[in-house]
Structure 1
């Protein structure tokens, strides 16, 4: 009876084990029952195009204490996993732990082949892996997740720092509750901007290049590209030292694009008119600092000519007329001296003198002596173009009504009118002529800033920028392009903003204007972009 009982017990144990094995979910079924607390919402563009989504995958684990033959198992698994050596697998299988991961995110073929091996104490767990259909094109905006599907950069990280992240960590978020996060980015425009900048990298061989397109009326970011970028499918690329999102995370002396603010300040606070004359006939000496113009006309200039000829002397005299304290206060009101708020963690803090002296005011008038980000420069210029209303930037959809409720009046309507006139005039007659795309009534301001190399300004290393707005009769969009340290396109070619940043901006406008519903006007002999100005 004892012997019979033992045999029956063994038989029942085997039958029970076989039943459990038969009831175990297949790889496909295990994926369908994955832990939804690690899931994330889809991220889509303004038109519903998917920018990031979760894909179900299987991950391979082992229970080392139950492994019968670690040597044979590691040999078999190494032939399937490929990127893991037999020694690595053997070490994990001989661990004293009760649970170890062998491989996260298996391919379907790997999962099926391992299942056929029938190795005891080896199992699958359903997980999710983040997939980015747009690849490099949105890498700096969307960012990345780690192996556990937690956000580590870009909008992905911002999501985890928001209320979604709190719910996710608490386990209160499940698949049914996750709704897609819609961004203001337009994937079509993003593709066009990325392609143009990629070509610029080959054409001018700069250290970096970037661009941002803003809706001036709502503050929405329509496109944001910074090169070099990275492939989200190869996360290690993101850690390389030159993969910084320079649009929001890099600070630069923005050069003569800052004269947009200086001129607006003179009109707003300096009792200036377009006809006001400034003495630019000789260099301006402040202590040991000598301010001069690279192409001096050696004569007094009107405010219009100061802007069109990008006169450093004239801009400095505009700052003198306003006063040092008022100048600093105006730059603060424009948002150039403080960290900008946007739904990205990679945002840099501007660098400015701790003690604001007269010489700082004069050099800041033409974009030297303080550094800010391209993004907040674009935001401030958008305010000047947008009837003087400063609207904070955002990656989340916002209506014009909501934007008006958030807006701060930075300059008057009249100053905005005058500045739009100057922007358009500069694209017709000044340094922005190469950006005057037929039909789209573009205006803009160039900026060429010498970079500091080994503590001194270098004549051969520039940070070039061009700020454009269109259509100028009532600008909806502001584009800022920068080319960091370009090389001559051909022997004897220039390395200024007019030589590279401006044509790049023109190419972007040509590719994106129609996508942004800006209709061209070709039969316009009086130029309606000037019609608003008396």
Structure 2
């Protein structure tokens, strides 16, 4: 019996051992499976999905982050706007509060690294209870590194892009800028916002940063010398309408949107409209010659002022004699121009100004465009004053395009900021005949050789054009101490290619100019500087050969003295 009992006990122990072994094997297998699942999850989190909260952020903003904004290039392929990867700092406030960290102390630590961070707002966001709150957008690599060193729980980085403008303020008013989320706010950034976000590739402009730099520097030098409040400068290809330069000063740095304030954000070249003064005499003369109202041999009495009601039209430096049509233009006679306009009449004047594109808002690929200011009731007096650029206000862009049409054979081209090829170009439309345009080129050259535009004359390229000085209106009256001084011209006159306009807003006379701040002293020299510097850049050969000198009896002869 004892032997049997021992045997039964031995069998029971054996079964218990087998049962325990089986249970151990099962438990081991379960733990092995759990370990494998845990290891796979760790690999998944660390290598593929990242930590939990950024995964949630990516879902919310995936479209914005995955889309890369296209580059903007100048006409030669120079990069003028691009997007760079950057990081933004955000907080999971629930994770932060779970640690018991002091929000105020944490905000101070962050502010020591991120000076743009508001202490109060940062403390509020750290304790808001939200899983995602931006603290600072677009950190520098050094700032990201310093924040990481703090080791604050709940802080994470979101991968984003930042729009960058390598040339700073150089092309500011053309490019515009974007907001912190990469949306276009002004300039071509706004006009082509969707295209820049799309798959169509880079946007190439007509602007030449070399020419843009020359125009900006020449304009800035003059503004500083004459203590002016601002100015504008343009260079346009008169055969295509492409703008190689469009400058408005003061300007701003699109990399720092805090600089877009007041005057700096206002585009004088396209948005501003001004009474441009005697430059309009080119259009007045072209109209009268083209319509057959006058000939070059016709004469007008400029010996005394013209009366308009209680006002009088005077010449600034009058010859006080009878003037031929060329002399009216070359000597910039208001009296003679007004009489030519009266010969043409109001209806014809309005028709030609419409042809030149001066009665409607200009078409250009940026939203900052100003509408011209026109007489409400176009009377005889308006016809007379408009002939010399008073009583009508247009943008420098509009006037540049119109002067280009006067000189290019009579075709008005729509100005554009996009680089074009021959197949894409709009045909333009004729505003004056080729014959009239040819005569006007000779007259424009005479203005520079013998008239108020002498300071625009270049030793290397023949320039033609016209000065314009106009008092600014303030409170419905003209302020003789505040004026617009401008020069509009074309070069080289033996084969016209480019139109130039330089405008200076409220220059102040200086000792060198004997106290004068008129266009001949202020704006004409800007054109000379620009022509001398950009001619070689654009591959233009210097003008050569003798110029035609007009003798007495020729209708283009100018009697300089007397």
**Normalized against structure 1, the TM-score is what?**
0.89
- Residue 39 (str. 1) matches residue 68 (str. 2): yes
CA shift at 1:191, angstroms? 1.1
* C-alpha contact (below 8 Å) 1:469/1:475 kept by paired residues: yes
CA shift at 1:332, angstroms? 1.1
* Corresponding residue for residue 531 of structure 2: 509
* Corresponding residue for residue 168 of structure 2: 135
For residue 234 of structure 2, the aligned residue among 212, 230, 237 is: 212
CA shift at 1:503, angstroms? 0.7
- Give, in whole Å, the separation in 2 of the partners of 1:334 and 1:214: 16
* Corresponding residue for residue 323 of structure 2: 301
For residue 148 of structure 1, the aligned residue among 165, 177, 181 is: 181
Q: Larger C-alpha radius of gyration, 1 or 2?
A: 2
- Give, in whole Å, the separation in 1 of the partners of 2:279 and 2:153: 67
For residue 393 of structure 1, the aligned residue among 388, 409, 415 is: 415
Deviations 1:284-334 (A, max 9, x none): 223333222122222221000000111111111111111111111111111
Deviations 1:92-148 (A, max 9, x none): 111133311111101112223333444332221111100101111111111100000
- Residue 58 (str. 1) matches residue 87 (str. 2): yes
CA shift at 1:344, angstroms? 0.8
For residue 341 of structure 1, the aligned residue among 357, 360, 363 is: 363
Map of 1:79-158 to 2, 5 A cutoff? 79-158=112-191
- Give, in whole Å, the separation in 2 of the partners of 1:25 and 1:437: 65
Deviations 1:335-391 (A, max 9, x none): 111100010111000001122111111110110001000110000000111100001
For residue 494 of structure 2, the aligned residue among 449, 455, 473 is: 473
- Give, in whole Å, the separation in 2 of the partners of 1:402 and 1:280: 48
SS of residue in 1 equivalent to 2:252: coil
* C-alpha contact (below 8 Å) 2:226/2:510 kept by paired residues: yes
- Give, in whole Å, the separation in 2 of the partners of 1:528 and 1:211: 31
Q: Show structure 1 runs of 5+ residues with no match.
A: none
* C-alpha contact (below 8 Å) 1:217/1:400 kept by paired residues: no
Q: Structure 1 14/399 Cα, relative in aligned 2: closer, same or farther at 3 Å? A: closer
- Give, in whole Å, the separation in 1 of the partners of 2:42 and 2:341: 86
SS of residue in 1 equivalent to 2:206: coil
Q: Show structure 2 runs of 5+ residues with no match.
A: 1-22, 52-56, 558-562
Q: Structure 1 242/14 Cα, relative in aligned 2: closer, same or farther at 3 Å? A: same
* Corresponding residue for residue 5 of structure 2: none
- Residue 248 (str. 1) matches residue 277 (str. 2): no
- Residue 451 (str. 1) matches residue 472 (str. 2): yes
More displaced 10-residue stretch of structure 1: 479-488 or 288-297: 288-297
SS of residue in 2 equivalent to 1:225: strand
SS of residue in 1 equivalent to 2:185: strand
- Give, in whole Å, the separation in 2 of the partners of 1:458 and 1:86: 50
Deviations 1:6-26 (A, max 9, x none): xx8999998788656633669
* C-alpha contact (below 8 Å) 1:256/1:367 kept by paired residues: yes
CA shift at 1:454, angstroms? 3.6
SS of residue in 2 equivalent to 1:205: coil
**Count of matched residue positions in the alignment of Structure 1 and Structure 2:** 512
Q: Structure 1 502/25 Cα, relative in aligned 2: closer, same or farther at 3 Å? A: farther
**Normalized against structure 2, the TM-score is what?**
0.85
